[in-house]
C-alpha cells in the first residue's frame, strides 16, 4: 500500500472527510502534519504545494491536492490504483 502524508488541522471537516475516504479504501496509516500546532510547517506546505488550505494530501511522492481532488480521483476510478502501488 502507498504511503499517505496529509497536512491537516485538528478541526478541518475536509481533513476528516479525506481521512474517512482513505480509511474506507483500506489505508491503515496516514502520516499527519498538524499545521495548526506547528505554523512553520504551514509555510513549508505552502512552498511545496502552492496552496494554503488543508488538507493537502500526498500519495507516495504525488501531490494529490485537497479533499475535492481526492474525491474526484476516487469517482474517476483512479484512486485505488494509486493506493495499491
- In the predicted model, is pLDDT for residue 82 greater than 90? yes
Segment 10-57, tens digit of pLDDT: 999 999 999 999 999 999 999 999 999 999 999 999 999 999 999 999
The Cβ of residue 7 has, within 10 Å, a number of other Cβ atoms equal to 26
Residue 1, pLDDT score: 86
For residue 27, the enclosing domain spans 4-84
d(CA 8, CA 6): 6
Mean pLDDT calculated for residue range 72-82:
98
The Cβ of residue 11 has, within 10 Å, a number of other Cβ atoms equal to 8
pTM (2 decimals)?
0.94
d(CA 66, CA 53): 8
Q: Which three cell numbers stand for residue 75?
A: 469517482
Kindly report the CATH number assigned to the domain that includes residue 32.
Answer: 3.40.30.10
The count of domains in the chain is 1
Residue 8, pLDDT score: 98
- In the predicted model, is pLDDT for residue 85 greater than 90? no
| CA gyration radius, the chain | 12
d(CA 1, CA 26): 9
Q: Could you tell me if residue 65 is left (phi over 0), alpha (psi between -120 and 50 degrees) or otherwise beta?
A: left
Amino acid at each position: 500500500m502507498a504511503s499517505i502524508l496529509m497536512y491537516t488541522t485538528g478541526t478541518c471537516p475536509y481533513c476528516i472527510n479525506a481521512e474517512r475516504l482513505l480509511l474506507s479504501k483500506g489505508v491503515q496509516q496516514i502520516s499527519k502534519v498538524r499545521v495548526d500546532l506547528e505554523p512553520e510547517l504551514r509555510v513549508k506546505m505552502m512552498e511545496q504545494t502552492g496552496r494554503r488550505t488543508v488538507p493537502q494530501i500526498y500519495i507516495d511522492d504525488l501531490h494529490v491536492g485537497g479533499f475535492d481532488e481526492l474525491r474526484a480521483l476516487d469517482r474517476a476510478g483512479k484512486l485505488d490504483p494509486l493506493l495499491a502501488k
